[in-house]
Structure 1
Amino acid sequence: MGDPDVVTVSRLPGVLLVDAQDLVLQRLRQLLSPYPYALHFARDAIQALHVMAHCEVDLVISAAHLPQMDGPALLARIHQQYPDTTRILLTGDPDPRLIARAINEGEIYRYLNKPWDDQELLLALRQALDHQHAERERQRLGLLVRQQNTELKALNVQLQRRVAARTAELQQTADMLDLAYEELKHSYATGAELFSLLVNQRLPPAKQTNRRIIELVRAYCTIQGLDAIFQRDLAMAAALHNIGKLSWSDQLMTTPADLLHHQQRERYRAYPQQSESLLMTLEPVQDAARLIRHHQEHWDGTGFPDRLRGEAIPLGSRVLKLAVDFIELQCGLILERRMNSDEALVFIRKYAGRLYDPQLVEGFIQVCSVYLCDVTLGDPSVRVLGTRELAPGMILARNLNADNGMLLLNAGKVLNLPLVDKLIAFETMEGARYSVFVKLPREEAVGA
């Protein structure tokens, strides 16, 4: 009773008919029974209030004269306790004071005269229920609007907080850039690295690459004995190689290159040139900018943006290509599947002469073996084999994981024939193809 959402419940409208005369109730039953109403009957006010307390009643039609309590008083009581119930007075008494009481105290929808006209009564009942339905729907919608306004206010407060937090975050970034600009006056290289780290903050930690690429090219230059100017330019190129991605969305920044659709791929292929354009106005970094422009060229001439081939690609760009791809393969930015360091080096070795300078690949692998503690590929006793090439006595050089990341075997595990058979079966079941890094038994390693 009184719930504005009651109209959403699938039930017949409840109609309570109150009259002291059985004959009147019988006639009303005959008149209304063919229609889709749930009919309730009462002969006095006490019975009527009992029905109201225990049944769902939408409309009450009450006679004016009843035992114990007259019709206007009953309708006034129902109005107080069940204000959403529509009330109609059915009276043969022309006393205007009685009708006035029903209107003022009971706030009746209307009154009908006895004897009634059947069609008039049916029309009045239908109109009353239609009016009630419309009123309840209005109340429901009003409640819904209020709830939505409350939610909108809460969302607005939340949005304001986010805007304030984002503004503070942007202000913090701006402050950091101001500091970086001051540092840039003294050292473009230091400034380039700081800016590079700021750019990388847009990426989740697992996909942040710039710091690792910078440190890797520095290690390469040191181990290979390259001069300081080459090292400075290459380090700045490593720091700023992806500055052309600043305008990208976060989603595009983290999508693996092999999953980009045509339009995204065109934008991806433009970033080295955009990075160069942004940097060419700064004279001290122009050499680094040229390295950046060509770091996605391929040794076989299929790269971008200028489709340079072989020695026409600057040396620094070829080295930067190796470092960028090595790190991004491990971060899932080139292929959807993230590789470990050894798998990334196997990939680079596989595409030597196509994507990479074949004269640089083995030296790069040796640098990674010296510089990175988790690389085993530089060890001459380590081989990369498929599961069907494994043999008893071989020792795992590094952990073996399934494509879903689940650890299958720990590094140091000595293989036996049942274990090899299980790996082959599991690989077949997964539809995968494992690259297994193993150390050969000592006598085989010497023979190799």
Structure 2
Amino acid sequence: MTDSPPLVATLLLVDDEPHVLSALRRELRREGYRLLTADNGKTALERMAEECIDAIISDALMPGMDGIELLAQVQRDWPECLRLLLTGKADLNAAVRAINEGRIYHYIAKPWDATELRQTLRLALSHQQAERERQRLETLTRAQNRELVALNANLEQRVADRTAELQQTANMLDAAYGDLEQSYVTATRVFASLINQRLPRHLQTNATVGNLLTAFAEQLGLDEESQRDLQMAAALYNLGKLTWNDHLLTTPSERLFAADRDAYRRYPETGESLLMALEHLEGTATIIRHHRERWNGSGFPDHLKEQAIPYGARLLSLAVDFIELQRGMILPRKVPRHSALALLEKFAGRVYDPALVAPFVELCLEQAPDLGVGGRKVLSLEPRKLEPGMQLAQDLHSPAGMLLLNQGKELSRGLIDKLIRLEELEDTRLTLLVHPAEESDAEPEPGTKTQTG
């Protein structure tokens, strides 16, 4: 009989003695845990605030905040985190205090027994996982019970509403087939609606991608047919994702592995296949099939490179990645708008057509069609050029991705001074997209980029 595989968990090890931390890491590294360390209580609390920690093992005796005080604060702020106390002295009073104040799961004496330490952690994390699953199932059961009660209360009305919805969909399809010359337009609307039905609101990117491509196509002077194909591709590029389950839909692409990764890499081909029967969408289908190809040939599905990649697919790739980076659909975090543009520039010549990246970034900085500002003027300014009364046109994030200010926030002199100090303290450069103060008629300073949505 083999042991069950170790649980994947994040552990925080806290001890003021480096050799103890090293010994703990050696003992636990083979268990497959993600191990973080801290050499004092203050640093440990900072790591707790930054990371999702499943269990903390802390030495009892440390300068400043001791282990018992640390675990007590962890219990207050992060009660679901398992707490284990490590001490070199068989101090009954310390154990009682740790149990009372920190509500520790286990008390480990130094020097520890390696086998006992590993087994204790396995048992603790298994118990934690079981409790989390129990709470999840309880929440799910309560939600299902409420839904069942509501369904039984108005089942007849629900059936009537659903019948009306189905009839409305049938009428839409009948109208589409009644006018073959406009079939591709109707099909696009139906498919786009189906896609949005499957996706959470914050992952419904088609409209924003479409706005970007409309502006970009006009800037590049594309002909009417090319612009139409691009618009159809923007509306339908993730059509192949309709066959995915909810987990796959909401997981960032860089977090997908094995079968999920394979399914992800097939979605452009699936989207093309679904459109093959629509004669008017042949150009659109080709763009969709190849919008995940890369300039250096490392993309999919056909590993095309450089000019072999259809022009429209190169345009769609830029717009899709720019929006999906900001929505957290590629990396496991949302990338601020200015950082997303910087990534496009970084990968020009490897992932993207280098001749298209520069005008695309310029478009986003000068016109910001993805922000939907409806014609309001937008300025791109450094903190020192801001003026009180200006209004943020987009959320402001720190270089680390933390939200600093919300879109729509009106800037005061105090806020502007804080942003200037933040630049100095962090040795970084911030760029804000703002609407000018309504009462200000002043022209922007030389070198300021003026944007219109």
Give TM-score scaled by structure 1 length. Answer: 0.52
Residue 250 of structure 1 is matched in structure 2 by 246
Q: Verify the 8 A CA contact 1:299 1:309 in the aligned structure 2.
A: yes
- 1:178 Cα deviation from its structure 2 partner: 3.8
1: CA distance between counterparts of 2:264 and 2:446? 49
2: CA distance between counterparts of 1:332 and 1:351? 18
In structure 2, the CA distance between the partners of 1:256 and 1:442, relative to structure 1 (3 Å rule), is same
In structure 2, the CA distance between the partners of 1:292 and 1:434, relative to structure 1 (3 Å rule), is farther
- 1:251 Cα deviation from its structure 2 partner: 3.1
| Equivalence map 1:198-347=2 (5 Å) | 198-347=194-343
Q: Verify the 8 A CA contact 1:219 1:371 in the aligned structure 2.
A: no
- 1:358 Cα deviation from its structure 2 partner: 0.7
1: CA distance between counterparts of 2:447 and 2:147? 72
Identity between Structure 1 and Structure 2 (%): 42
Residue 436 of structure 1 is matched in structure 2 by 430
- 1:250 Cα deviation from its structure 2 partner: 2.8
Q: Point out where structure 2 has 5 or more consecutive residues left out of the alignment.
A: 1-144, 434-443
In structure 2, the CA distance between the partners of 1:334 and 1:163, relative to structure 1 (3 Å rule), is farther
Q: Verify the 8 A CA contact 1:343 1:435 in the aligned structure 2.
A: no
1: CA distance between counterparts of 2:349 and 2:447? 30
- 1:321 Cα deviation from its structure 2 partner: 0.7
- 1:174 Cα deviation from its structure 2 partner: 4.3
2: CA distance between counterparts of 1:286 and 1:331? 29
Decide which of 350, 354, 369 is 1:372's aligned counterpart: 369
Which has more radius of gyration? 1
- 1:335 Cα deviation from its structure 2 partner: 2.2
Q: Verify the 8 A CA contact 1:200 1:208 in the aligned structure 2.
A: yes
Q: Verify the 8 A CA contact 2:293 2:299 in the aligned structure 1.
A: yes
- 1:438 Cα deviation from its structure 2 partner: 5.9
1: CA distance between counterparts of 2:305 and 2:146? 60
Q: Verify the 8 A CA contact 2:290 2:301 in the aligned structure 1.
A: yes
Decide which of 152, 162, 169 is 1:157's aligned counterpart: 152
In structure 2, the CA distance between the partners of 1:277 and 1:187, relative to structure 1 (3 Å rule), is closer
Give TM-score scaled by structure 2 length. Answer: 0.51
Q: Verify the 8 A CA contact 2:386 2:416 in the aligned structure 1.
A: no
156-165 vs 327-336, greater mean Cα deviation: 156-165
- 1:191 Cα deviation from its structure 2 partner: 3.3
Q: Which amino acid aligns with 1:293?
A: R
In structure 2, the CA distance between the partners of 1:312 and 1:413, relative to structure 1 (3 Å rule), is farther
- 1:343 Cα deviation from its structure 2 partner: 3.2
2: CA distance between counterparts of 1:333 and 1:255? 7
Q: Verify the 8 A CA contact 1:177 1:195 in the aligned structure 2.
A: no
Q: Verify the 8 A CA contact 2:423 2:430 in the aligned structure 1.
A: no
- 1:201 Cα deviation from its structure 2 partner: 2.5
| Cα deviation digits, residues 223-260 of structure 1 (max 9, x gap) | 22111121122222222211111111233222221222
SS at match of 1:297: coil
- 1:298 Cα deviation from its structure 2 partner: 0.8
Decide which of 187, 193, 204 is 1:191's aligned counterpart: 187
Residue 403 of structure 2 is matched in structure 1 by 405
Q: Point out where structure 1 has 5 or more consecutive residues left out of the alignment.
A: 1-149, 385-391, 428-432
In structure 2, the CA distance between the partners of 1:340 and 1:374, relative to structure 1 (3 Å rule), is farther
- 1:399 Cα deviation from its structure 2 partner: 5.4
Residue 9 of structure 2 is matched in structure 1 by none
- 1:311 Cα deviation from its structure 2 partner: 0.9
| Cα deviation digits, residues 251-272 of structure 1 (max 9, x gap) | 3222221222322111010000
Q: Which amino acid aligns with 1:196?
A: A
| Cα deviation digits, residues 387-412 of structure 1 (max 9, x gap) | xxxxx845499653343434289686
407-416 vs 245-254, greater mean Cα deviation: 407-416
Cα RMSD, aligned residues only? 4.1
2: CA distance between counterparts of 1:445 and 1:223? 21
Q: Verify the 8 A CA contact 2:252 2:331 in the aligned structure 1.
A: yes
Q: Verify the 8 A CA contact 1:399 1:411 in the aligned structure 2.
A: no
- 1:306 Cα deviation from its structure 2 partner: 0.9
SS at match of 2:431: strand
Whether 1:350 aligns to 2:346 is: yes
1: CA distance between counterparts of 2:327 and 2:343? 14
Q: Verify the 8 A CA contact 1:258 1:336 in the aligned structure 2.
A: yes
Q: Which amino acid aligns with 1:344?
A: A
Q: Which amino acid aligns with 1:364?
A: F
Residue 109 of structure 2 is matched in structure 1 by none
In structure 2, the CA distance between the partners of 1:244 and 1:255, relative to structure 1 (3 Å rule), is same
2: CA distance between counterparts of 1:163 and 1:306? 47
Q: Verify the 8 A CA contact 2:206 2:235 in the aligned structure 1.
A: yes
Q: Verify the 8 A CA contact 1:332 1:339 in the aligned structure 2.
A: yes
